[in-house]
Structure 1
Amino acid sequence: MTAVDPASASAVDPVAPRATPAPGGGLPGLASLTARHPRVPAARLLAELVPPRHFAHESFETYLPDPDHPSQQGAVDRLREVAATLAPPARAGGSWWRRRAAAQAPAVYLDGGFGVGKTHLLASLAHAVGLERTTYGTFVELTHLVGALGFAATVDALGERRLLCIDEFELDDPGDTVMMSRLLRELADRGVAIAATSNTLPGSLGEGRFAAEDFLREIQALAARFEVLRIDGEDHRHRGATTSAAVLDAGAVRAVVAAHPDATLDDFDALLAHLSTVHPSRYGALLDGIDLVGLTGVHQVDRQDVALRLVVLVDRLYDRDVPVVLSGDGADLFTGEMLAGGYRKKYYRALSRWGALAAAGAQGDPDRDAQRA
C-alpha cells in the first residue's frame, strides 16, 4: 500500500472555483473533480471514520425489530449490553491491566442476510458508546487508512479508542484480509472492543452473503474471541438491487450540472486517470462541497486496477449521498470477467449503488433513502 508523505498530508487544497474552466479532463466553464488535488491530514482521516450520513442519527430506539424474527430483538438487547460494558472510562495501567482489559473486551459479529438492519445496529452501537470513543469504517476504508498512515501508526491511533466498528467486512483480497486480521488482533490485545458485519448483495444476484464460519475462519487467531449474533429476517426494503444506471445525452448532463451551484462535470476517462493520482483515502475529500457529479463519455472499464478505484469512488459518493448524472454508450460498467472473478461482490455492490445514484441524478432528487443498498 502507498504511504502518504507527511508534506502532502498537511492540508486540503482549495478547490477550483466554479466559473473557472477546469484543466485536465474538466469541461469549460464548469467545476471539475479533475481540478481537485486534496491533501488530507491524518487527523482528518481519523475524524471522518464515523457512521455515514444516512445513519448519522440512528440509534437502538430507531431500530424496529420484526416480531416474527426474535433474533432481531435479541441482537438489540445484546448490543445494548455491549455498549454498557464500554461506558466506564478506560483505566490506565501496566501490563496486567492491559491483559485484563483485552480478555474482557467484547467482540461481536452481526451475521445476517441483506436488509435486516446490520449496519443500522452497528451505527447504533457506535452512537451508544460515543463517537469520540469509537472508530467506525468499512473494511475498505480501514485498509486505506493503513495504506495512508502505516500499520504501526494506525494501531496506535485506533488503540486509543474503546470500540472499532467494521462494516462490510470483505474476504476477496487475501492480503487485505491477513492485514486486517493482524490489525484486529493487535487492537484486541490493547483492550479495544470490536464489532463487525458483512454487507453483500441480495441472493437474487447470485452472490448471497458470506456466513459467520467464513469470517471466523479468515480471522483465525481471533475467532475464539468473537460472539456471533445471528439476525434473521426479510429485506425490510422489499426490493432487489438496482444495477442499471440511467443514461442521459451529453447536453442534458451539462444542463443538469449547470443548474446546480455545487456540481462538477468531467469526462469519464479523464476522471479515471485522475483517480490514479489520488490516494483512495482522499476520495472523500475529493467530494468536499459537491452535491452532484456529472460524467460524460461513460463506458465499460476493462482494467481491474482502474475498476477497483472506481468502486471506491462510488462508495464515497454513496456514503455522502451525492447523485450522479451520466452520458455514454450505456454499456455495462464492468466486464463479464470482472463480474465472475474474485472481486465480484465489490463490483455488484458498486453497480447497485451506481444505479441508485444515477436514478437520483436523472430525477433531480438527491433524496435516495428509499433506494439505499
Structure 2
Amino acid sequence: MHERLVDRSPVVPADQLVAQMVPPAMFDEVSFASYIPDPKEPSQAAAVAKAEEFSKRVTKIRSGGRRGLFGKKTQATGAGLYLDGGFGVGKTHLLASIFHSVPSPKAFGTFVELTHVVGALGFNKAVEALADHSVLCIDEFELDDPGDTMLVSRLLSELSARGVSIVATSNTLPGQLGEGRFAAQDFLREIKKLGSIFETIRVDGPDYRHRDLPPAPEPISSEELVSRAEAIDGATLDNFDELCKHLSTLHPSRYNKLVEGVKAVFIDGVHPATDQSVALRIVVLADRLYDASIPVTVSGARLDEIFTPEMLAGGYKKKYLRATSRLLALSRFEVAAG
C-alpha cells in the first residue's frame, strides 16, 4: 500500500522553529565562486561582487560596534541588502552564499516562513530569538496584506537597530511591495521604512530553470501514476482534492515536516484551483517540495494549468508564476529520472 501525505500530521515545537531556519539542502555547497554569471547579463557579476562586499560588512559589524564616550562600545546598526530580479536568476544562490560566509548564529528562511515563526513565537520572543544573529536572510520577500506589512516593518527595524544585518531577495522593488493586493497608499510610510533599510541591487537574466527545456510534460493516466508510485520506495500518492483539503488543516510552518523524507510525490486528478486560499497553500507546498528537490508527477491537468488565468491576472501573480516554474522543474526532474 502506498503512503499518502494526507495521512501525515507533523508537529514542529516552537523552540525548533528558529533553529531550523537554514538554507534548503540543495544550497548546502553553494558559494560566491560557484555562481557562474551570464556574460550577457553584467548585473549578475556586479551582484556577486556586491554580495561578497555585504558579507564582509556583516562580519565587521558582528566583530564589534563603535566606540562611544569613555571608550564604551555602542551597538552598530545592521547592514541591509535587497537582491531584486526575476525568477531563476540565482538570487537564492547568492543569499545562501552570504549565509555560509558570515558568523553564527544566523538564520535563513522564506518570507512566509519568517511570518509563520513570528506568528508561532509571538513578536517579542521572535525578536529575542533573532537579536543575537549576525544576519537574517529572507528569500522571496513579499507582502500580502497590511498585517504583514506592519509586522515585518517592526521586526526588521528592531533587529536592524540591534545590529542584525538583513538581506532579502524578491522580484518586487521595496517601494512596490504589496502593490495590487491592498490599499498600498495607506501603508506607504511603513513600506518606505522597509525600503530605507535596504540597498537595492538588480539581478537580470532569463529563468535558468527554463533554459533550453521542453514545455510542461503531459499528465499521465491514473493507472500509470499508481504503477509508478508503487515502484518507488518512499513515494507518496494522493488525490489532488484530498491533499488540498489536508493542507487547510495544517499551519504552513508544518509543510516542511510534511514532505520530510519523501522520495517522490504523485498526485492524481490535478485540476485548476479556483479558490485563492487553496492556490496559496499550493504555492507554499511547491516551495517546500522544491527546497527538498522532490520530483512531482501528476495525472489530470498539467502543472502549468493549476493557477487560473484570473488568478494570474491578480495581485498574487508573481507567487503563482514562481510556483509554476518550480513545479515544472520538479516534474522534469521526475521525467529525467524515470
Tell me the TM-score normalised to structure 2 length. Answer: 0.85
Whichever residue aligns with residue 164 of structure 1, its letter is L
Task: Indicate if the aligned counterparts of 1:242 and 1:352 stay in contact, CA closer than 8 A.
Answer: no
Partner of 1:321: 293
Structure 2: runs of 5+ lacking an equivalent = 179-187
Give the whole-Å Cα distance in 2 for the aligned partners of 1:236 and 1:117: 8
Partner of 1:63: 35
Correspondence 1:148 to 2:123: no
Alignment of 1:186-265 (within 5 A): 186-199=158-171, 210-211=172-173, 213-214=175-176, 219-233=191-205, 239=211, 244=216, 246-265=218-237
Partner of 2:319: 346
Count of equivalent residues: 324
Task: Indicate if the aligned counterparts of 2:95 and 2:139 stay in contact, CA closer than 8 A.
Answer: yes
Of residues 286, 306, 322, the one that matches 1:333 is 306
Bigger Cα displacement from structure 2, 168-177 vs 29-38: 168-177
Structure 1: runs of 5+ lacking an equivalent = 1-28, 200-209, 366-373
Bigger Cα displacement from structure 2, 245-254 vs 273-282: 245-254
Task: Indicate if the aligned counterparts of 2:175 and 2:192 stay in contact, CA closer than 8 A.
Answer: no
Bigger Cα displacement from structure 2, 255-264 vs 235-244: 235-244
- Fraction of identical pairs, as percent: 49
Of residues 82, 100, 103, the one that matches 2:75 is 100
Task: Indicate if the aligned counterparts of 2:209 and 2:329 stay in contact, CA closer than 8 A.
Answer: no
Quote how far apart the aligned CAs of 1:171 are: 3.5
- Alpha carbons of 1:215 and 1:107: their partners in 2 closer, same or farther (altered >3 Å)? farther
Q: Deviations over 1:327-348 (max 9, x none)?
A: 1245821222211111111112
Alignment of 1:279-290 (within 5 A): 279-290=251-262
> What SS does structure 2 have at the residue aligned with 1:334?
coil
Give the whole-Å Cα distance in 2 for the aligned partners of 1:233 and 1:295: 32
Quote how far apart the aligned CAs of 1:256 are: 1.1
Correspondence 1:80 to 2:52: yes
Q: Deviations over 1:10-60 (max 9, x none)?
A: xxxxxxxxxxxxxxxxxxx11111111101112432232112222221111
> What SS does structure 1 have at the residue aligned with 2:141?
coil
Tell me the TM-score normalised to structure 1 length. Answer: 0.77
Q: Deviations over 1:165-213 (max 9, x none)?
A: 11111134333233222211111111100111114xxxxxxxxxx3354
Partner of 1:24: none
Give the whole-Å Cα distance in 1 for the aligned partners of 2:45 and 2:219: 42
Give the whole-Å Cα distance in 2 for the aligned partners of 1:149 and 1:241: 42
Give the whole-Å Cα distance in 1 for the aligned partners of 2:39 and 2:329: 30
- Alpha carbons of 1:284 and 1:72: their partners in 2 closer, same or farther (altered >3 Å)? same
Aligned alpha-carbon RMSD (Å): 3.0
Q: Deviations over 1:311-340 (max 9, x none)?
A: 111110011100112112458212222111
Bigger Cα displacement from structure 2, 261-270 vs 150-159: 150-159
Give the whole-Å Cα distance in 2 for the aligned partners of 1:347 and 1:67: 29
Q: Deviations over 1:269-309 (max 9, x none)?
A: 11111111111000010011101011112112111111111
Task: Indicate if the aligned counterparts of 1:257 and 1:265 stay in contact, CA closer than 8 A.
Answer: yes
> What SS does structure 1 have at the residue aligned with 2:33?
helix
> What SS does structure 2 have at the residue aligned with 1:76?
helix
Whichever residue aligns with residue 211 of structure 1, its letter is L
Give the whole-Å Cα distance in 1 for the aligned partners of 2:210 and 2:334: 23
Task: Indicate if the aligned counterparts of 2:65 and 2:75 stay in contact, CA closer than 8 A.
Answer: no
Q: Deviations over 1:116-144 (max 9, x none)?
A: 432221111111004x3221111112122
- Alpha carbons of 1:253 and 1:362: their partners in 2 closer, same or farther (altered >3 Å)? farther
- Alpha carbons of 1:243 and 1:44: their partners in 2 closer, same or farther (altered >3 Å)? farther
Bigger Cα displacement from structure 2, 67-76 vs 354-363: 67-76
Bigger Cα displacement from structure 2, 72-81 vs 278-287: 72-81
Whichever residue aligns with residue 343 of structure 1, its letter is Y
- Alpha carbons of 1:222 and 1:364: their partners in 2 closer, same or farther (altered >3 Å)? closer
Quote how far apart the aligned CAs of 1:146 are: 1.8
Quote how far apart the aligned CAs of 1:71 are: 4.2
After TM superposition, the runs of 4+ consecutive aligned structure 1 residues lying more than 6 A away are 95-98, 240-243
Whichever residue aligns with residue 111 of structure 2, its letter is F
Give the whole-Å Cα distance in 1 for the aligned partners of 2:50 and 2:231: 48
Quote how far apart the aligned CAs of 1:235 are: 5.2
> What SS does structure 1 have at the residue aligned with 2:150?
helix
- Alpha carbons of 1:92 and 1:73: their partners in 2 closer, same or farther (altered >3 Å)? closer
Give the whole-Å Cα distance in 1 for the aligned partners of 2:148 and 2:63: 30
- Alpha carbons of 1:74 and 1:359: their partners in 2 closer, same or farther (altered >3 Å)? closer
Whichever residue aligns with residue 100 of structure 1, its letter is Q
> What SS does structure 1 have at the residue aligned with 2:53?
helix
